[in-house]
Amino acid sequence: MRETERDTAGGTAMAVPEPASAGRETAVAGFDANGRLVERNAEWERLAGPSAPGADRAACLAAMIAAFAEIRDFPEADPARSAKIAACWAAPGEPVEARLPDGSWRLLASHDRADGGRSFLAIDITRQEETHALANRLLIENPVAIWAVEAATGRFAFANQAARALYGAARSEDQGLALIERFMMPHQRDIFDSRAAAPGRVDFVDALLETPSGKRLWTAGATKGIAHRGRALTMCTLFDTTESERADHEQARALEILNDAILNLDEALALYDADFRFVMGNARLYEQFYSEVAPPKPGEHSHETIRRLVEAGFYAIPEGMTQEAFLARTLAGVDPRPAETEIALADGRSFLRKIHTTRIGGYFVTFTETTAERRAERAEHEADRLVRTIVENSPTTFLVSRIADGKIIYFPPASQERFGDIESTLSFFLDPKDREDYLAALMETGSLTDYPVRFRRRDGSVMQGLTSARVVTYKGEDVIISSTRDITETLAMQAELERSREIAHQNEKLSALGELLAGVSHELNNPLSIIVGYALMLQDRIDDPALRRRVDRIAQAAERCTKIVHTFLAMARKRPARIEPCDLNEVIEMALDVAGYGLRTEGAEVICDLEPGLPHVAADPDQMAQVLTNLIVNAEHALAGKGPEGRLRLASFHDAEAGEVVVEIADNGHGISRDVQARIFEPFFTTKAVGTGTGVGLAFCHRIVTAHGGRLTVQSEPGRGATFAVALEAIAAPRPRAPAAGPAETHRAARRVLVVDDEPDVADMICDVLAEAGYETEACNRARSALARLAERRFDAILSDIRMPDLDGAGFLEALRRQAPDRVARLGFVTGDALSPPVQALLASSGRPHLEKPLMPEALIALADRLADPGRGDLP
């Protein structure tokens, strides 16, 4: 509870009503000397519930206490809360504040009764609470800095938000800061201390303070000593007068400049106070009006001056008017309000007199010769020219047109240059309905801002724009004043940005598809290795022609699957180009295996016309496969919907005259127009619908072929299909490699091979292939088991998988280097996950030969031969 309320609510100082006289808002109950209820009013029973005479005081007070939602300074968690509240309520001078559930507040007080008992009251103080809350808020949020410091120590007892902002302290720091130590300039501390200690209110001005940030402020304020809860405090208020001081200085300087300007004006000027008494005039005033008449003295009323001028014959008096009448009329014209009056002098000169009010209640009067009228006309004409210059050179389309028929009233040259010599706005709206919609939107409110429009330019092109327009009245009819910004290029840039976003989205999908492709290929590698291995082994063991034919088909299908998987892996592999002699016929077959499914399902005819014995080219086979796959897929899109009528021809030939190998991919699809052919290899250019094409494929192919020193061209006519040709320089065919002089089978029989693979079926297949070749084989499905076997017996070759549980290929290699370093040269890897960065890093760092799954028997035997005889280097 606030201290001020305790002081006014407690003891005998407070007028506490008796039950009989209490108002309805005050609940009262009286108890005798024995603590028994003798009387209570209706408000008490409304709050605490009914209670019979003679009821125990403690029970009655407990019932009343239970009626309150909150009792200030008494926490709910205190188990003795109710007893403490009752004791405080009964104590003289210790009133308690409590809040009812409806939000109203009561002051709980008590006083002695004449019969020796005690009366207890619950007085409604809701309005006082609201007043106190408002007062607190006004104090805290007051823009004036207000604080209180302890008179003895100078430390803060209170500071509002403005004060804390001024001296730079957080709320938690208030109590620990001394004002004069915080920011008062040292030479003014004694002055402040002496004034703060003085009784009553003391005002001070021009106090120079320094904030924590080093900023110096000129301030004014007041201090007053007060007593609060037994402490002597000094209340302080402070106003930042820095800007005022600066403004005063600037104003004085401005007045000095103004005075100098007034005195040196070419125009006559006189300054009067609020009573129209003369203050001062400039030199021009004395020169024009008082060369022969005594000038006015400071304090002289304007009427006296005018009278003297009239009597001296200074003014031209109209014929038929007496001097007295003219004087009366002239004096009546000096109205202490802003006014303009033409005056004529006896010497033939005429002036325009203007009376202006000043901000401090005075007047200044200017006298301008009639030439000022012409000067004003010239200024007005100049202003018109300025507006016209601005409008005519504005980069926006500006015009004024009639609403009814669209007739153009004003059309500046910049707009004419853009739209041509037209007479009506109907000429450049693309559709008459567009203007109808525009007028409907405009007439609804009389104005439009950035309304989208489409106009036809002078050259026939379409301009996208944003129009702002207003309806005004001109010469008695409603007209439209409008200006239009050309946003055609902006919209084109936005469209390009949207396409780029779509391309980025497509690239993300392609990346994800590549990862998925690699994952699927990896999962196929092990079973394909088993199928290929056993199928090829069975080919030489079956004499029955029918069974042999079936096994041949299995072997051929398995080999085809192997090629497809290898092609998938090559396309998904991210590595620098590896230029080597490349047979484009083989690349064509691989690309067709990968991309030909869609053509076959559509029923299209696929013709392969490949020249046998084709010279090799220097190229990266994987990148060439990507190029040809992309071109085949594009042809498939061109043949979509043609069904069996669709035809794709893949041809290769050697152009001996040009020294090139050429591959052609020709389709009988819808063809490509000449304007599209001119841009078809540009990045991000596509004629396909959004979400179907990215504009990346052909640009990518063109970049790869060009990087190989070749050419990618297209020939097409609309409706007659398209032919894409890849031309690369031919090179001499590589010499056939001599058959490896591997160990004879009799020698292989004396050699042992350890196979390490966590897939038992794959390990068994490898063992069977090598056993057929004459090797003694042994399989381990865990790398640690293989290490144990290597410790027990010697092996001439070790074939190990890389991705294995517990101990992988990298760990196996390290353990082998420690356990049997002489056997490292006998180690080779077989893996179905060559795209994995860790696997690639291992293969690159170890320098060990490896094979990628699916495994071909001849490659497997060749690797075993090489490892069994480390001196051999004939493995590809």
Exposed, middle or buried, 36 (CB in 10 Å: 0-12/13-18/19+)? middle
| pLDDT band with cut points at 50, 70 and 90 for residue 155 | confident
- Averaged pLDDT for residues 715-734: 86
Predicted local confidence at residue 194, as pLDDT: 60
| pLDDT band with cut points at 50, 70 and 90 for residue 690 | very low
Residue 14: pLDDT above 70?
no
Predicted local confidence at residue 838, as pLDDT: 85
**Minimum mean pLDDT range among 324-328, 536-540, 544-548, 770-774:** 536-540
Residue 799: pLDDT above 90?
yes
Predicted local confidence at residue 818, as pLDDT: 92
Q: What is the pLDDT of residues 499-521, one digit of tens each?
A: 677 666 655 665 565 566 666 66
Would you give the distance in Å from CA 431 to the centre of its chain? Answer: 39
- Averaged pLDDT for residues 100-123: 88
Q: What is the DSSP string of 683-698?
A: TT---SPTTT--S-HH
Tell me the range of 117-126, 335-344, 384-393 where mean pLDDT is highest: 117-126
- Averaged pLDDT for residues 397-409: 78
- Averaged pLDDT for residues 144-168: 75
Predicted local confidence at residue 55, as pLDDT: 92
| Dihedral of alpha carbons 116, 122, 127, 132, sign | positive
Predicted local confidence at residue 780, as pLDDT: 94
- Is the link from the previous residue into 854 a cis peptide, with omega within 30 of 0? yes
Question: Which residue has better confidence, 768 or 689?
Answer: 768
Cβ-proximal residues to 381 (8 Å cutoff; 6+ apart), any chain: none
Residue 638: pLDDT above 80?
yes
Residue 271: pLDDT above 70?
yes
Predicted local confidence at residue 736, as pLDDT: 56
Residue 538: pLDDT above 80?
no
Report the percentage of the chain scoring pLDDT > 70. 77
Predicted local confidence at residue 691, as pLDDT: 44
Predicted local confidence at residue 249, as pLDDT: 76
Residue 33: pLDDT above 50?
yes
- Averaged pLDDT for residues 377-394: 69
Mean pLDDT value across the chain = 78
Question: Which residue has better confidence, 372 or 712?
Answer: 712
Output the CA–CA distances (angstroms, integers) from residue 763 to 105, 519, 541, 806, 847, in the order listed: 89, 21, 21, 17, 23
Cβ-proximal residues to 450 (8 Å cutoff; 6+ apart), any chain: 466, 467, 468
Predicted local confidence at residue 549, as pLDDT: 78
What are the b/e assignments for 492-531, b being 16+ CB within 10 Å? eeeeeeebeebbeebeeeeeeebeebbeebbebbbbbbbb
Would you give the distance in Å from CA 270 to the centre of its chain? Answer: 60
- Averaged pLDDT for residues 612-632: 88
Residue 336: pLDDT above 60?
no
| pLDDT band with cut points at 50, 70 and 90 for residue 826 | very high
| pLDDT band with cut points at 50, 70 and 90 for residue 203 | low
DSSP bridge partners of 364: 271, 356
Alpha carbons within 13 angstroms on the beta-carbon side of residue 700 total 17
- For the whole model, what pTM was predicted? 0.38
Residue 157: pLDDT above 80?
no
- Averaged pLDDT for residues 806-834: 89
Predicted local confidence at residue 79, as pLDDT: 80
Tell me the range of 301-305, 737-741, 775-779 where mean pLDDT is highest: 775-779
- Averaged pLDDT for residues 463-477: 83
Residue 376: pLDDT above 70?
no
Predicted local confidence at residue 570, as pLDDT: 57
Predicted local confidence at residue 168, as pLDDT: 64
DSSP bridge partners of 56: 36
Angstrom distance (rounded) from CA 297 to CA 272: 11
Predicted local confidence at residue 29, as pLDDT: 92
Q: What is the DSSP string of 523-574?
A: HHHHHHHHHHHHHHHHHTT---HHHHHHHHHHHHHHHHHHHHHHHHHHHH--
Q: Identity (one letter) of the amino acid at 371?
A: T
Cβ-proximal residues to 874 (8 Å cutoff; 6+ apart), any chain: 737, 740, 862, 866
- Averaged pLDDT for residues 776-794: 91
| pLDDT band with cut points at 50, 70 and 90 for residue 644 | confident
Residue 774: pLDDT above 80?
yes
- Averaged pLDDT for residues 334-360: 77
Angstrom distance (rounded) from CA 772 to CA 766: 10
| pLDDT band with cut points at 50, 70 and 90 for residue 616 | very high
- Averaged pLDDT for residues 653-657: 91
Helix count and strand count (H, E) for the chain: 28, 33
| pLDDT band with cut points at 50, 70 and 90 for residue 429 | confident
Predicted local confidence at residue 602, as pLDDT: 79
Predicted local confidence at residue 874, as pLDDT: 43
CB atoms within 10 A of CB 454: 14
